[in-house]
Structure 1
């Protein structure tokens, strides 16, 4: 706070302390002409008499002791404006000391999992419970408490992975984040095939997960050349995507932004920009490994069926 506000606080505190001392002194003394403590002549119900007895001296002295304690407290701790106090105590310093103590406790808790493979950690129930706790505090905001995601946020409990589902790829996602960009293709497609071009591509993309629907499908037939000319670079000729780019598999029937025509039109014509923030700096490597192990366990059970190779790719793409 500014120097002016600091002096204002100091003056206000001094005024209050002085006021308390004066009030105790003024109300505790007897003056010439005051009635005797037992002589007020106020009676109720015939036998209840109001007296004017002062408070006991020991009680008054307790109040004085309280005031002295308050002055000492304000002198030791920074209670007088900007003055630091003779104890040099600060809330920031207290927070830092508490943080260091709790960090040391956490480090001891996480020590057994330092550098361990994700699929190995996923077999440890205690580690999975720790990972679940970290997930709830850090990741559930977007992916939900059950990790089943929402529109625009992937479901982490299935076997569909856009960026790869191997243990190390999941750890990479957690620590470094991901940024998936679907460009706007509306103007390009319209220039190639007219106003219905995006609808044609939507019709063809839908057939990738249901090949039988391609038969006698005029709109899908119109959309295939457009797909081959524009979309194939990322999603591949068979529509199975590219995990290196985060391009989703279009043949599995999973649509992160919804299956409606309006949603697909928005994706193709106007594009999408999805960002998974990097959490490596926030969580550190070991905690990132724990949360990655928890996420990996959601679609692999307890890991007993895990490939011993940490880079073995999971089916599909998230």
Structure 2
């Protein structure tokens, strides 16, 4: 945060606290009596008059105590721009402390399964219960609570894997993450609209869904120039590159003409964040076994 905004926030916060204090003091000072009277403010609304009576003492002192508490809190904790507070507390530090306590408390439980091979681990009920919780906390946001994915997020319960569904591939994906990149127009950036239509029809022809058989026939040549480098001459994909199989019924971004055309024209970028550094090696081993079990 810049110095200007730090000062700006501090002035607003302290101005609010001292402003409330001054308002209480000024209001109290102008009152001539601490007891209730029949004196009114001279206002009358539909026959109802407003009395000029002081706040009850307990209420007044409670307001003052609130102001004092606010100043004490701001002295101890961050709340005035870049000022860190006398206690040096931060949400990041609190999180790190809690994570350290959790590691000390549960680390032995994870370590018990850390050296077990993934296929064997997938057969251990206690480990899978732990894996399900790890999945729910770290993966379900994208892949869904049941691991069935959604538009742009792979289904983990089938046998179609962009980067491979064997234990080593799953572990690599979890540790290092994945960066998917489908370039617009593939390797043919000067593709015309007519050629886009042709290659889309060609891809649809793999499942007998082409709109225009003549366009699909011409699209084979466009595919050879723009797509074959990644998806292969047989369009079966390439797991080393994360290029999907175009001949099956599994589509990450939709399989209609319009969806495929949008993919060809605009490309696709997707990222699977690395869990290494966020989770321990033992936790990743258990999580990998749980993911492996979803499709096995």
Q: Same fold (TM over 0.5)?
A: yes
Correspondent of 2:294 among 295, 298, 315: 298
Q: What is the match of residue 230 of structure 1?
A: 226
5 Å-filtered alignment, 1:203-218, equals 203-210=201-208, 217-218=213-214
Structure 1: stretches of 5+ with no match in the other structure? 17-25, 28-69, 301-318
Give the number of the structure whose alpha-carbon radius of gyration is greater: 1
Instruction: Please state whether the residue corresponding to 1:245 is helix, strand or coil.
Output: coil
Larger RCO (CA within 8 A; separation ≥ 6): 1
Corresponding pairs, count: 243
**1:119-158 counterparts in 2 under 5 A?**
119-158=119-158
Between the aligned partners of 2:199 and 2:94, the Cα distance in structure 1 is 61
| C-alpha distance after superposition, 1:117-151 (max 9, x if no partner) | 22121111111111111111111111111111111
Q: 2:254 aligns with which of 255, 258, 262?
A: 258
Q: State the match for 1:82 in structure 2.
A: 75
- Contact kept, 8 Å, 2:188 with 2:225, in 1: the verdict is no
Q: Deviations over 1:179-200 (max 9, x none)?
A: 1111111894765xx5321111
- Structure-1-length-normalised TM-score: 0.64
The answer to whether the Cα contact below 8 Å between 2:114 and 2:286 also exists between their aligned partners in 1 is no
Is the contact made by 2:186 and 2:227 (CA closer than 8 Å) also made in structure 1? no
Q: Which residue of 2 aligns with 1:200?
A: 198
After superposition, give the CA deviation of every residue in 1:63-87 in whole Å (9 maximum; x if it has no partner).
Answer: xxxxxxx9xxx9xxx9465269xxx
Asked whether the equivalents of residues 158 and 299 of structure 1 are also in contact (C-alpha less than 8 Å), the reply is: yes
Question: 1:101: how far off?
Answer: 2.8
Q: Give the counterpart of 1:240 among 236, 240, 243.
A: 236
Residues 240 and 250 in structure 1, CA contact (< 8 A), matched pair in contact too:
yes
1:289 equivalent among 278, 285, 290: 285
Q: In 1, are the aligned partners of 2:164 and 2:239 still within 8 Å (CA)?
A: yes
Give deviations 1:239-285, integer Å, cap 9, x for gaps.
11000000001111211111121110011111111111111111121
Give 1:96 deviation, angstroms: 5.7
Per the alignment, in what secondary structure is the counterpart of residue 277 of structure 2?
Answer: helix
Contact 1:6 1:81 in 2 (8 A): no
Q: TM-score if structure 2 supplies the norm length?
A: 0.68
2: CA distance between counterparts of 1:96 and 1:149? 30
| Separation in structure 2 between the aligned mates of residue 119 and residue 181 of structure 1, nearest angstrom | 30
**Distance in structure 1 (CA, Å) of the matches to 2:95 and 2:197:** 58
Partners of 1:230 and 1:94 in 2: CA distance: 51
SS across alignment from 2:270: strand
